[in-house]
Amino acid sequence: MKKMKVILMVIVVIAAVSGAFAAKKKFDCYDQAQYYLDNGVYKYAGIFGVNWYCISQPTSACSYIMTAPFVYTMCRTGHYAPINPTR
């Protein structure tokens, strides 16, 4: 009987630890400053939905984030489009 309790307790502990890792918040690049590529130069994009948005195009990069100084990583897919380019 005691052996059964120990086995059940081990299973419960393993399940609790696994659940904690599964519920851990993943990195979300949307919370970072966004940049877009313009003629080989990365430029600050502004606020998504206010200054710019992405036109659906799953094969290209719409925005990037800076992961290290002068190192950019793709964040959103699509085609970069400014909302009001005349201002």
- pLDDT tens-digit series, residues 6-35: 788 888 777 777 766 666 656 788 888 999
Q: Are 36 and 42 in contact (CB under 8 A)?
A: yes
Q: For 33-67, what is each residue's pLDDT tens digit?
A: 999 999 999 999 999 989 999 998 888 899 999 99
Report helix, strand or coil for 23. Answer: coil
Q: Is 31 helix (H, G, I), strand (E, B) or coil?
A: helix
Q: What is the pTM (predicted TM-score) of this model?
A: 0.63
Q: What pLDDT does residue 14 have?
A: 79
Domain ranges in the chain?
29-82
